[in-house]
Amino acid sequence: MDTKRQNKIARLIQKDVSDIFQTEYKNFFGPVLITITKVRVTSDLGLARINLSIYGTDNKAGILENIKKQTKEIRLKFGLRAKNQLRIMPVFEFFIDDTLDYIEKIEALLKK
């Protein structure tokens, strides 16, 4: 079970990193929509696991690799925004959240 502090930091990361993707990286990934579906922060607040939904491309793995290559820069930009709110800046790990794809496949199968 997550603490209030973990949830607060997770919401902060979700809001700010989403904003970074929408403003500063909107041209970097092309016509792709990237949304953050969930953020989980470890109990020591040192690691944030960020789940992403990627729309508008079939090359989700390639986009994820590009995001992973930019992790340090994304973390730096987040750090500049959250510098007065956090003592420890968590390390970011990005993952593809394929829950919506899974739901779409199930709905397609049920319609058959």
Q: What is the pLDDT of residues 51-93, one digit of tens each?
A: 999 888 888 889 999 999 999 999 999 999 988 888 889 999 9
| Interacting residues of 77 by C-beta distance below 8 A, sequence separation 6+ | 20, 24
The pTM of the full predicted model, rounded to 2 decimals, is: 0.84
Fold of 4-111: GMP Synthetase; Chain A, domain 3 (3.30.300)
Cβ atoms within 10 Å of 96's Cβ, excluding its own: 16
Interatomic CA distance for residues 20 and 82, integer angstroms: 12
Domain ranges of the chain: 4-111
Q: Please give the residue that has the higher pLDDT: either 32 or 30.
A: 32
Interatomic CA distance for residues 35 and 55, integer angstroms: 8
Three-state SS at 94: strand
| 5-31: average pLDDT | 90
Query: ∠22-48-39 over CA atoms, to 5°?
Result: 60
Does residue 29 surpass a pLDDT of 80?
no
